[in-house]
Every structure is written in C-alpha cells, then in structure tokens.
C-alpha cells in the first residue's frame, strides 16, 4: 500500500485525493496547504491528516507526494521530495522558468527517484486510444497532426498576468500531446497569435488565439490551434493523418440526446470544463503512477517530458513576436 501525501489542497488536489483513495494500492495519509484550514478540510473528508509540507516530506512513512501547489514552488518541492527519497507526481508545468526547470531536472536525476509530470491528457481514454491506434499501425506512418484545444472562457486577467502567457500556461498541454503522439520533438516551432477574444488580454501582454506549426526532421508536420474562448464548451480534439488513414479523437458530450425539430437536429454540447472532461484521465494517471512507482513500469511522463514541453512554449513565445520559425536547438 503506497502511503501518499498531497501538497496543496485546492480544487485539483480534491480530484487527486479521490483517485488516490479509490485506487486499491494507495492510501492518502497527509495533506498540507498554505492555508491550514484547506488542508484540514480535505484531509478530514478522506481520513488523512493535515500537516506541514516540511513534515510530510520528512516523514519516512510516506512513500510518495503529489505536488499540487502553485507553479512557482514546483521545482523546489520536487527537489526536496526526491532528496528525501520520495516518488513524486507533480502538476504541470514544471516551472515557468525554463532555466529553473532544467536545473531541477539535473538535480533530481541524481536522486534516481521517480518523478512524473501531470500531463493528464495523455491518460484521457480518447487520446490514449488514438495513440494506441497509431502504435498498432492502424493508419500507417504519421504525417500530419492537428490539435484543437479551446477553453470555454478566458480566465480572469489577474490569472493571465501571472500565467506565463498562453503558450506556457495553456498550449503547454498541446505541446506535450504533440510529443506524446509524434514520439519525438519537432525541429522548429512557428507561431501566429493575436488577442482577438479580449483586448484586456492584449493589454496584459498576452494573446488569446494562436496557431502554431511544428516541423519534424523527417518531414512530418503538426499544427496546434488554441483559443481562450469557445462558448459551447471545452473543445479538445486531436486528428492525425497517416499514410493509411486518419484517426480523430472527438469531444465528449454532456449526454447522447438528439432533438430533431423544425429548427434542425440538435445534440448536447461538449462537457463544459476540464474537470468533467478529464475526470477519468486523472484516475488513469494516478493508476499509471502507482504502477510505475511500485516497480512494474517506467514513469510514463518524465521530468524530461515536462522540460521538453516548456522548451516548445519558449520557442512559440519567441516566434509569436516575429512570425518566423524558432529552432528548438536554439532555445
């Protein structure tokens, strides 16, 4: 039985707590938060203990920590936890600073402890089925990948300002998805972006709509589309053209009811937000982590994967300024 502590007791920590408790081989034993009452509340619901972060990390009886704190603390906590001999599952991104993330990767590597980055979308049943289909040769060799990833509504401007920008905050998921599907990093990243959804976002120095093209050494291409606003819901689709066919992972809908009237044939909208869409993914992610930590498999999303996505976000951020391609080798 894997004894687990959660660092950070916000909304996503609650999702992880459920996954940990439901898993037959893991048990939630401790929770910490900068606001102790939040930790208390979450701990009580799942029969765990609210403690200080340092205590959890120092506790020899705890095998693994799940880091769900604010992004600026990720690298420090990864280093501290691995140094204390713990396995780590850390929410994305590793860090907003590529330099800091790389340093964390280097120091952590030395400990030999498993560190997994929480790119939950890899565990979505739809995207993982698409990847499995590719691996099974169902569409031959991959040629052209398209990722559509639209949020239902922009976050508050206060969040935008500290987010690191659309490429590091939002598209980073899609960069990781591209790496997951293509099994390789691109050689160049080209971004076109604007703030057409919200002039406030533009005034804050960020963009809200972007198209990013990735080129690969062997001629493959990928394109990622992001928008901060799709009023009909969380639009999350992946489409891969191969030499022998096409694979598409489409949206999950709120229900399967279809209404036909004089107005047309109307079905339900996509599930509205990431918690609904990705709930099964969080459970599968945790299960994969337990499997890796208990020794049966390599960590499926490594710290190196987290850094790789960050490099692409950095390249896209630079490219968006000029429109010219940025080579990953130059980042």
The footprint of a copy of itself (CB under 8 A) covers 125-126, 129-130, 133, 138-139, 143-144, 146, 148, 150, 188, 190, 192-197, 209-211, 213, 215, 218-221, 223, 225, 227, 229-233, 235, 241, 243-270, 323-325
Task: Single out the residue of 229, 225, 196 nearest to residue 212, CA to CA.
Answer: 225
Q: Residue 303 Cβ, how far from a copy of itself at the closest point, in Å?
A: 29
Q: Of 69 and 195, which has the nearer Cβ to a copy of itself?
A: 195
Rg of the chain, C-alpha, whole Å: 20
170 touches 151 (CB < 8 A): yes
Q: Residue 254 Cβ, how far from a copy of itself at the closest point, in Å?
A: 8
Q: Of 71 and 236, which has the nearer Cβ to a copy of itself?
A: 236
Q: How many CB atoms lie within 10 A of CB 104?
A: 25
Q: Residue 125 Cβ, how far from a copy of itself at the closest point, in Å?
A: 5
208 touches 195 (CB < 8 A): yes
Hey, what are 296's tokens? 């049966």
Hey, what are 21's tokens? 């408790």
Q: Of 96 and 139, which has the nearer Cβ to a copy of itself?
A: 139
36 touches 60 (CB < 8 A): no
Q: Of 7 and 210, which has the nearer Cβ to a copy of itself?
A: 210
* C-alpha distance from residue 120 to each of 36, 78, 91, 95 (Å): 27, 18, 9, 17
Q: Residue 221 Cβ, how far from a copy of itself at the closest point, in Å?
A: 5
User: What is the DSSP pairing of strand 221-227 with strand 142-150?
Assistant: parallel
Q: How many CB atoms lie within 10 A of CB 203?
A: 11
Q: Of 151 and 314, which has the nearer Cβ to a copy of itself?
A: 151
Q: Of 36 and 280, which has the nearer Cβ to a copy of itself?
A: 280
Q: Of 3 and 100, which has the nearer Cβ to a copy of itself?
A: 3
What are the backbone angles phi and psi of residue 300, rounded to the nearest 5°? -75, -20
Residue 39, class by beta-carbon neighbours within 10 Å (0-12 exposed, 13-18 middle, 19+ buried)? Answer: buried
User: What is the DSSP pairing of strand 87-91 with strand 115-118?
Assistant: parallel
Q: Residue 293 Cβ, how far from a copy of itself at the closest point, in Å?
A: 22
Q: Residue 237 Cβ, how far from a copy of itself at the closest point, in Å?
A: 9
Q: Residue 300 Cβ, how far from a copy of itself at the closest point, in Å?
A: 18
């Amino acid at each position: 039985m894997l004894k687990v502590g959660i660092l950070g007791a916000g909304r996503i920590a609650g999702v992880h707590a459920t996954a940990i408790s439901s898993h037959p081989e893991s048990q939630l034993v401790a929770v910490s938060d900068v606001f102790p009452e939040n930790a208390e509340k979450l701990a009580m619901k799942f029969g765990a203990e609210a403690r200080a972060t340092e205590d959890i990390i120092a506790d020899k009886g705890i095998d693994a920590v799940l880091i769900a704190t604010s992004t600026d603390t990720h690298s420090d906590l990864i280093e501290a936890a691995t140094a204390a001999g713990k396995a780590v599952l850390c929410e994305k991104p590793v860090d907003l600073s590529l330099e800091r993330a790389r340093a964390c990767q280097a120091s952590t590597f030395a400990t030999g402890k498993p560190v997994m980055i929480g790119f939950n979308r890899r565990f979505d049943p739809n995207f993982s089925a698409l990847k499995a289909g590719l691996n099974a040769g169902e569409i031959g060799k991959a040629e052209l990948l398209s990722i559509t990833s639209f949020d239902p509504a922009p976050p508050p401007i206060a969040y935008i300002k500290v987010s690191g920008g659309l490429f590091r905050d939002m598209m980073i998921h899609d960069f990781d998805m591209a790496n997951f599907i293509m099994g390789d990093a691109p050689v160049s990243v080209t971004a076109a972006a604007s703030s057409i959804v919200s002039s406030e976002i533009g005034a804050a120095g960020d963009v809200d709509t972007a198209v990013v093209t990735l080129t690969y050494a062997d001629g493959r291409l990928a394109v990622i589309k992001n928008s901060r606003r799709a009023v009909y819901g969380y639009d999350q689709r992946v489409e891969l053209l191969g030499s022998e066919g096409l694979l598409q992972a489409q949206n999950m809908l709120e229900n399967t009811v279809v209404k036909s009237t004089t107005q047309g044939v109307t079905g339900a909208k996509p599930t509205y937000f990431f918690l609904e869409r990705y709930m099964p993914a969080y459970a599968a992610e945790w299960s994969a982590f337990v499997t890796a930590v208990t020794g049966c498999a390599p960590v499926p999303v490594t710290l190196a994967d987290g850094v790789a996505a960050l490099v692409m976000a950095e390249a896209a951020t630079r490219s968006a300024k000029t429109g010219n391609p940025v080579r990953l080798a130059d980042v």
